């Protein structure tokens, strides 16, 4: 049996503990309320499944970290004159801590992004970069926190290696790409050229720019096949170039005779691979790119040093692995 005094003592301790717990939670509540929730903006460069996937990865990470993610309008075409007004509208909202986007031109996006940075908004470029992409040395384009994207040069080089093998290391090849001033595709073409250099019997007969319009890619490849009926291999450097390229080959009745290496694992290209209309797909990791942008942005605001370049890998789809369960995660769904 407890004495009255012991009982009183216990009650006192219990009340004191309650007061402490209440005090602590109140204090932390005030702290939480005082710590502003971070708000990031994801500004896609064009309406396509690759950018939807970046957004999906970003949203998942934002949910995990408790970051607010604003997603801007998707531009209807690949063009600085369409992208820049969207970026400016997002920046002038006044509530964005960090904005991440894929610059639609290495040069034309430097000044607009610098203006946004000068408004106090941190910038990360994903998929594409400004200038030469080296943000580690001081320059008028080194203000972004980081560039996060695929090693496009390496990917282009490896595509060349695969395509060379598929065509027996000889014959004419053609490249369908989008723009001459967009870092991603420019480096894919450079890497491809480097890759085929070591095969003297392979001749690159042309590089055409469709400005990211599939119909234009299709007509350019059709024209190339007419001008060079002995083309044996084509590299389509992104999803619209690739989709246009294989359609042109199908229409010319050359499926199988002309080997097609493509980039970006859309469901359309995966179906084309299954049915033998394309022979190779390089899949980037867009969801990971989006996730990393949010994660590093968050870490930056919590005092961590951000690496200037972050490079997720890529994956090759062939007819042999396209149906394997472990490959399915790389499809842009």
- Name the residues that contact ligand T6T, by CB under 6 A: 48, 50, 127-128, 184, 238-240, 263-264, 284
CB of 127 to ligand T6T, least distance (A): 5
Instruction: Please name which of 76, 13, 41 lies closest in space to residue 211, comparing C-alpha atoms.
Output: 76
The token pair that represents 155 in the structure block: 């990917």
User: 321 has which bridge partners?
Assistant: none
State the nearest-atom distance from the C-beta of 108 to ligand T6T, in Å.
Answer: 15
Cβ 239 to ligand T6T shortest distance, Å: 4
Q: Give residue 264's Cα distance to chain centre.
A: 10
Query: Terminus-to-terminus CA distance in the chain, angstroms?
Result: 69
Residue identified by tokens 């007419």 is 226
C-beta of 48 vs 176, nearer to ligand T6T: 48
Q: Smaller CB distance to ligand T6T: residue 38 or 210?
A: 210
Q: How far is the CB of 55 from ligand T6T (least distance, A)?
A: 12
**CB 48 → ligand T6T: shortest distance, Å?**
4
Q: How far is the CB of 166 from ligand T6T (least distance, A)?
A: 21
122 vs 127 by CB, closer to ligand T6T: 127
Give me the least distance between CB of 149 and ligand T6T, in Å please.
Answer: 7
| Spatial separation of the C-alpha atoms in residues 326 and 328, rounded to whole Å | 6
Residue closer to ligand T6T (CB basis): 48 or 122: 48
Comparison of 235 and 240: residue with beta carbon closer to ligand T6T? 240
CB of 220 to ligand T6T, least distance (A): 16
Q: Toward ligand T6T, which CB reaches closer, 177 or 202?
A: 177
Residue with smaller CB distance to ligand T6T, 123 or 202: 123
Smallest gap from residue 290 Cβ to ligand T6T (A): 12
Q: Which is nearer to ligand T6T, 112 or 171 (CB)?
A: 112
Beta carbon nearer to ligand T6T, 164 or 239? 239
Number of other residues whose CB lies within 10 A of the CB of residue 258: 25
């Amino acid at each position: 049996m407890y004495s009255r005094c012991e009982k009183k003592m216990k009650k006192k301790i219990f009340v004191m503990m309650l007061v402490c717990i209440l005090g602590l939670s109140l204090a932390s509540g005030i702290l939480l309320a005082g710590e502003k929730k971070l708000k990031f903006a994801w500004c896609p460069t064009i309406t396509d499944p690759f950018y939807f996937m970046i957004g999906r990865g970003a949203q998942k990470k934002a949910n995990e970290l408790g970051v607010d993610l604003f997603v801007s309008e998707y531009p209807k075409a690949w063009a600085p004159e369409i992208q820049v007004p969207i970026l400016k509208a997002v920046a002038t909202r006044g509530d964005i801590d960090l904005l991440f986007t894929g610059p639609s031109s290495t040069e034309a996006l430097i000044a607009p992004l610098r203006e946004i940075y000068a408004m106090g908004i941190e910038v990360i470029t994903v998929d594409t970069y400004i200038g030469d992409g080296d943000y580690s040395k001081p320059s008028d384009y080194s203000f972004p926190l980081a560039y996060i994207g695929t090693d496009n040069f390496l990917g282009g080089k490896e595509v060349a290696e695969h395509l060379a093998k598929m065509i027996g290391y000889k014959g004419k090849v053609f490249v369908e790409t989008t723009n001459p001033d967009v870092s991603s595709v420019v480096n894919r073409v450079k890497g491809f050229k480097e890759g085929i250099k070591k095969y003297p019997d392979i001749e690159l007969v042309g590089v055409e720019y469709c400005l990211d319009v599939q119909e234009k890619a299709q007509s350019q490849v059709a024209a190339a096949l007419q001008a060079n009926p002995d083309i044996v291999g084509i590299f389509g450097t992104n999803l619209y170039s690739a989709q246009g390229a294989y359609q042109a080959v199908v229409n010319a009745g050359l499926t199988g005779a002309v080997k097609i290496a493509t980039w970006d694992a859309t469901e359309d290209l995966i179906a084309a691979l299954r049915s033998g209309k394309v022979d190779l797909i390089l899949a980037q990791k867009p969801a990971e790119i989006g996730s990393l942008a949010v994660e590093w942005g968050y870490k930056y605001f919590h005092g961590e040093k951000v690496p200037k370049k972050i490079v997720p890998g890529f994956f090759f789809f062939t007819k042999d692995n396209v149906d394997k369960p472990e490959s399915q995660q790389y499809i842009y769904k």
